[in-house]
Each structure stands twice: as structure tokens, then as C-alpha cells.
Structure 1
Amino acid sequence: MKNVTLRQLKVFEAVARHLSFSRAAEELHLSQPAVSMQVRQLEEMAGLPLTEQIGKKVFLTAGGAELARHARVVAQQLREAEAAFDALKGLRSGRLVIGVVSTAKYFAPRLLATFRARHPEVELRLGVHNRELIVQQLAENQIDLAIMGRPPQEIGTHSESFADHPLVIVAAPEHALAGLRRIVPKDLENETFLIREPGSGTRSAMERYLSEHGIVPRQSLEMSSNETIKQAAMANMGIAFISQHTVGLEMAVGRLATLPVAGLPVMRRWYVVHLEDKHLSPVALAFRKFLLEEGVPLIAAAVDSPLAPVRAAARSRRARP
């Protein structure tokens, strides 16, 4: 394969990562036929099939898996070269790829906007996924830094906490438990829990809390996003164990109520995480330092900003004669 190009390796690495020609084309801003042509040219040079399609699914052959491994190594070396050049330039430019768990999407844009205002030449990319996918992206070195609630134990990482992360149980104001002044964990056994999908950090935290208190929910309804869970809770379909950072607006306008359960909120932490052996670029180092020094007030501002009009309206009503 003496004549293989970096472009062809980049295309094949994307196909191998997504196991999809269309998603690789979308990521690389190419047409699907162009991606297919690059892979066919690689197959001709290799003298072996690299992919096979069964139904609508794409699989790697043994040769494809081997080439994908080498393509990832080449891609990583190119990223390291790019980071080295960025280091020579300082913070005037550079690229930073950040992955955040879905619960952090309520404050992550505020963090990035503030950082970007100080470093306008830096190229930022933000991906929002559940915890399982963020861990996978860390392991495959697809992201420089991750913001998450619980650092992974299954891969070697370096993590530093930078802000509190309170978890609460909420329900519709008309829910029977919402009118109580004090609730013990056992009171929750007969309730329907609105829960996130497997792989979610919020779900893992909820399962640990329930297990610690010997609670087996009567019924649970699984949903794939915090927004859907909030809507279901407001419709009084059940109660939700959820990050307090996601429900400030709904509580301020009276659509949700925090249940006064003994032992809550569960106070966890937000972490900035990267691979243990990863060489961080100047941009990544600067962003990590920025989170550690300024994350707390910026998260508070991001969570509180939707509430400002609500509070202003409430003050106006109280001021009327």
C-alpha cells in the first residue's frame, strides 16, 4: 500500500469508527459516493475487502480492522503534530474538542462562550452525549477533554473536580408527596420512577442511591433525555431523580417541586477529564485551568440566567399595591 494517502486513511478511519458510509460522509463534509470511492481504492491497493455490508449494516473485515488500527495511530500522530505546532504559536490559535454528558449541556455553552470570547482564534468543537459514549470517545482519543459527573474507572484517565453537582428528586406540584414536609426514602417504594437510559450517569447515580437505601421501585419508565423526563414529571407520570442544574426554570415557575427526601440532595461533583497519557495542547491546558478557576460562578450564572425574568416578574407582582 505504498501509494495510500492521508486523505484515504482519514476517510477510512471515519467509516471504521461510525460503521457507516453516510455518517462518515457527513462528518467529513463529503458525498457518500466520494467516501465509497476512497474505500474502494484502498481495497484495490490492499488486495483485500475492508468492509462488508449485511442488510443495512456495515462491518469491518479482518483486513479492515487491521487497517483501522493503523489509521487511528496515524490520525493520533497527526493530532500530536498539530498540538506541537499550536504550542509553538501559543494560544493565538488551536483546536479543542470537548465532550460533555447530556446533563452538562445546561451550562457548558456558557463556559465555552466565555472562553471563546477571550480566545477568539481558537476553534472549539462541542459534543453532547450520554456518559457511555463520552467514555468511549475518551478511550478512542476522539476528544481532548470531557466534562462529566463521574470519572471512568474502566480506562486510565486524569480527572479534577471543579464544581458541585447536586442531584434531587422532583415531581409535579400536585403529586401526593409534593405536599409533605419530610419524606423518608422508604416512602418512595410505591412510586413510579422516570429514569434515563442505561449508560447515563444520572441513572447510575440513582441506582446507587436506591440500592444504598434498599429501595426497589414499584415501576419505572425509561426515557432517553432529561427534557422528556421533565415533561413526564410535569404531567404527573411519576417522580424523577435528576440533576438540580436541569430543573431550575421548571421549579421557579411552579411546574415542578423538589421532594424533601431525607438525605437529598446527593451532592456529587463535576469533573474535567482526559486520557492519562494524553499530551494536552496549550488550548486544552488553558481551558482546564479556566474550568478549575472559574467554573463555579459561571455554572451558577448559566443555571440562574433563565430564572432572571421569572424573578423579576415575581418582584414586580409583590411591589404592586
Structure 2
Amino acid sequence: MNITLRQLRIFEAVARHLSFTRAAEDLHLTQPAVSMQIKQLEGVTGLPLFEQVGKRIFLTEAGHEMERYSRSILATLEEAKLVFDELRGLKRGHLKIAVASTANYFVPQLLAKFCRRFPGVKVSLDVTNREGLLEALGDNTTDLIIMGKPPGRIEVESEVLMENPLVAIAPPTHPLAGEKAIPLSRLQEETFLIREKGSGTRSATERFFIDQGLSLSSTMEMSSSEAIKQGVQAGLGLGLLSLHTLEMELTLKRLTILDVQELPIIRNWYVMHRSGKRLSAVARSFHDFVKDEVSEVLNLPTLA
């Protein structure tokens, strides 16, 4: 079959997004150009690769087979490029990192220091919640991921970077502010601002209270740690957030950490990638860099 790499790359993007429009945006092409390449590819195979049901498109049986082959071919070519780059001893490359939204409070500092050391490196940073990170791992679309608890259903190679304490926060004017050894059960009486479904912070919080035989009776869902901090400052309720997100608010005394028995919840940050994935020289360098430098780069508030 006379199939071009351009057609494979365009097909893979359409198959990944299940959208001609989103694929065109991703590839910086016009939608007619994408549609034309798909039609030419279908002409070569002699089979339809997509079918439309209502306003949505789906892969046909032949489309699923083509997706499997296209991903394998493109991954092999990318691996070959990495090998030849390393043989030439290049100090440049493209680093693709995906991180949990909470990790975005410290990862940019690491990336800035890394890029000063390797100025020829181009970085793509994707900040998303746990569900988005699991999707990236499943699709193997990124070099390295920094997140909390490693997934159970996807084989990964992971290493602990550092602890990630989750602490209870309140405005300084809250009645519980300044109290010592607050019973955890007392928090059941409070409204809690929590992250959206799919967030690792929310999952850890819910798991923790279940393990303690408790539950949060009143909650308000927020889409980000920033929204929770603003809501807590405004008096909407309490929050449970990573200590890594609180440096500025604690310094300016806009928020305070409550002294609650059984808290903080101690989690870990991990750096990981799919098992068996061949890391580029740049990705390996960043992997080693974050393990060595993370404690030097970060200035965390101290817990009393």
C-alpha cells in the first residue's frame, strides 16, 4: 500500500480526537486538508475508516486496525529518531511533560532551572487532573508524568520525588484557627470546598475520611486549588489542600493551617512513565534532574 507518513499522522490525530476539527487544530491544518488526506487514505485501503452517527464520528473495524498500525509505526519512527539523536550526542530535543494540576505550583520552577542548564530543549507542559494523566499514560503520549499515587491498572515505572502533605486550611478569623489538637470528627460540622471528580486530591481526601469512619456532611465543588483557596479566604468553608500550593497565602497570612488530629494526610509525589518506554536523552536528563534538584528548588512552608 502506498501510504504516506503525513496520512498516518493525520489519521492518528483524527482517531485520537474523533474529530476532524480538533485534529486540524492540533496539526495546524485546515479541516478540508485533513478530510482530503483521510479520503486519500481510505482510497488506498479500499475501506472506510470512519463512520458518522448523528454529529459524531467513530472508527470502523478497519479504522481500529489502522489506528493500531499507525500508532506502532509512528512510535517506531520516534524511537529511531531518539536513537540517532543520541548517537549524534545532541543537547537539544523536545521534552513532553504532563503533571497534576497541584504539581504545577512547583514544576515550572524545576523546568526553568532545567532549561537554563539545557537551553536547546523545547518543553511542552500539560497540566491536568488525575483522569487526564491516566489517559496520557494509557495513550503513551508524553515522556514523563509527575503525579500522586501511581495507577493500578497501567504498568508504569515510578519513583518517589518527595512527600506531598495535605493540610486543613481556614481563614485566620475562623473559630478553629489557633486551637490545638482539634478532633478530626469536629470537621464533619464544617462545609468543605473540594476538588472536582477525577482529582487526585479529592480521591485522597474521600479515601482518608472513609478510612477514619467519617464523612464530610457538607461540600462545595471547586474546579481548582486556586478556587478553593479563594473560597476559603472568602469564608465559604474549609479546605484540604497540598502544602505545596499554600506558600504565598500563608506568608501573607490570608490562610492558616488548622492543627487537626490525624492530619496532615501524607502522600507522595512520583515521577513516572510507561513500563518499557524508551526515554530520550532529554527525558532521562530531566528525570534525573528532578530527583536531584527538587529539594533545592522548593521552599515549603513548615508545619508547626
For Structure 1 versus Structure 2, the TM-score category normalised by the shorter chain is over 0.9
Number of residues of Structure 1 aligned to a counterpart in Structure 2: 301
Partner of 1:93: 92
C-alpha separation in 1, matches of 2:56 and 2:106: 36
Q: Report SS of the residue matched to 1:186.
A: helix
Shift of 1:204: 1.4
**Matched residue, 2:168:** 169
Alpha carbons of structure 1 residues 77 and 242: separation in structure 2 relative to 1, 3 Å: same
CA distance in 1, matches of 2:13, 2:96: 16
1:60 aligns with 2:59: yes
Deviation at 1:219, TM superposition (A): 1.6
Whether 1:217 aligns to 2:226 is no
Quote the offset at 1:172 in angstroms. Answer: 2.2
Match of 2:202 in 1: 203
1:119-148: CA deviation from partner (whole Å, max 9, x where unpaired): 111222111111111122112110111011
C-alpha separation between the residues in 1 aligned to 2:239 and 2:17? Answer: 33
User: How far does the alpha carbon of each residue in 1:14-42 deviate from its partner, in whole angstroms, 9 at most, with x for none?
Assistant: 11111222221222111222112211222
The aligned residue for residue 154 of structure 2 is 155
Q: Does 1:77 align with 2:82?
A: no
Structure 1 match to 2:24: 25
Give the root-mean-square deviation of aligned CA atoms: 1.6
AA partner of residue 182 (structure 2): I
Aligned pair in 2 of structure 1 residues 57, 240: CA closer, same or farther (>3 Å)?
Answer: farther
Q: Show CA shifts across 1:244-271 (max 9, x none).
A: 1112212222222211111222222211
Q: In the alignment, which residue of structure 1 is the partner of 2:253?
A: 254
Specify the alignment match of 2:37 in structure 1. 38
Q: Which has the higher helix share?
A: 1
Normalised by the size of structure 1, how large is the TM-score?
Answer: 0.89
* Matched residue SS, 2:89: helix
Tell me the alpha carbon deviations over residues 203-252 of structure 1, each in whole angstroms, 9 at most, x when there is no partner: 11111211121111112222221122222222221211111111221222
What is the match of residue 108 of structure 2? Answer: 109
The answer as to 2:282 corresponding to 1:287 is: no
Is contact 2:99–2:125 with CA below 8 Å preserved after alignment?
A: yes
Aligned to 1:264: 263
- 1:246 & 1:284 partners in 2: Cα distance? 26
Q: TM-score, normalised by structure 2?
A: 0.94
Q: Aligned partner of 1:291: which letter?
A: V
Cα distance change on mapping 1:298 and 1:12 into 2, 3 Å: same
Question: Equivalents in 2 of 1:26, 1:41: separation in Å?
Answer: 20
**1:91 touches 1:283 (CA, 8 Å); kept in 2?**
no
What is the SS of the residue equivalent to 1:177? coil
Question: Does 175-184 or 95-104 show the bigger shift?
Answer: 175-184
Deviation at 1:174, TM superposition (A): 2.8
| CA displacement at 1:272 relative to structure 2 | 0.7
CA displacement, residues 39-91 of structure 1 (integer Å, 9 cap, x when unaligned): 12222222222223334433222222221111111111111111101211224
SS of 2:88 mapped into structure 1: helix
C-alpha contact (below 8 Å) 1:171/1:178 kept by paired residues: yes
Q: Distance in 2 between matches of 1:7 and 1:186?
A: 60
**Matches of 1:129 and 1:104 in 2, distance apart?**
10
Distance 1:49 1:178 in 2: 64
Question: For the Cα contact (< 8 Å) 2:91–2:282, is it kept in 1?
Answer: no
Distance 1:55 1:190, change over 3 A: farther
Structure 2, gaps ≥5 residues long: none
**In structure 1, distance between residues paired with 2:23 and 2:171:** 43
Contact kept in structure 2, 1:104 and 1:147, CA below 8 Å:
yes
Q: Specify the code of the residue in structure 1 equivalent to 2:24.
A: A
Q: Relative to structure 1, is the Cα distance of residues 45 and 120 closer, same or farther in structure 2, using a 3 angstrom cutoff?
A: same
CA–CA distance in 1 between the matches of 2:59 and 2:111? 37
Q: CA deviation at 1:179?
A: 4.3
Equivalences for residues 299-310 of structure 1 within 5 A: 299-300=298-299
What is the CA distance between 1:154 and its match in structure 2? 1.1
Task: Return the letter of the residue paired with 1:293.
Answer: D
Percent identical among aligned pairs is 50
